[in-house]
Amino acid sequence: MGIPYFSFWGSSLDNITKRSKLEVKFLLNLFAKKFNELAKDKNIHQNKVRVNAFGRWKEIFPEKVNQAIQKALEATKDYNQYHLNFFLAYNGTDEMLETVRQIIQNAKRDNYLKIEEGLIKSHLWTKDLPPVDLVIRTGAQNDPHNSAGFMMWDSANSQLHFTKTLWPNFNEREFIKIIKDYAKREKRFGA
């Protein structure tokens, strides 16, 4: 569809640290399998898709999973036509706290540091990503509207779409329908 940046939240930090061991094991095995496949995927290489990963995955995931993710990142590092971003062991609050910590460290070295939007953006894990245009939140039992802080800074002016469809059943047809609906929306940016 020509979408230059596509971001997928694969797991929150809480998903990895608080869910059952069986569920976490399943997710980690799935990540290892799919990132190994991405590293060799013909469509990824033909379309020059750069694969990125954000979050605490390096610190938390087992070595086997980290190696698979690194393999996909390394295989696509020179591409920049499209960007496929995965958020793994990611929490938006965690990203913002780390950003503030980095800015405080810089302020200790630079007494004239001016706090402004550009400074904050330059310290985010997602500093190289553009603002988010559309957030699609698939269904969740009893709480379909929980964002859990996904890309908090970058999604401040995003359009939002909530679907009752649970993630495993969310398909290409529904995605295309949502994108077509988004294309018809007037973007007012708070006005």
CATH class of the region 1-90: alpha beta
Locate the domains of the chain by residue range: 1-90
pLDDT for 162: 84
Phi, psi at 143, each rounded to 5°: -155, 65
pTM of the model: 0.89
Please state, in angstroms and rounded to a whole number, the distance separating the CA atoms of residues 81 and 108. 38
Check: CB of residue 138 under 8 Å from CB of residue 112: no
pLDDT for 110: 84
pLDDT higher than threshold 80 for residue 15:
yes
What band does 144 get if pLDDT is binned at 50, 70 and 90?
low
Q: To the nearest 10°, report the CA torsion of 102, 103, 109, 112.
A: 170
Q: What is the pLDDT of residues 46-96, one digit of tens each?
A: 999 999 999 999 999 999 999 999 999 999 999 999 999 999 999 999 999
Q: What is the pLDDT of residues 155-190, one digit of tens each?
A: 988 888 888 888 778 899 999 999 999 988 876 655
Where in the chain does DSSP place strands (E)?
5-9, 49-54, 82-87, 134-139, 159-166
What band does 22 get if pLDDT is binned at 50, 70 and 90?
very high
Q: If DSSP codes are grouped into helix, strand and coil, which group holds residue 14?
A: helix
When the pLDDT of each residue in the chain is averaged and rounded to a whole number, the result is 91
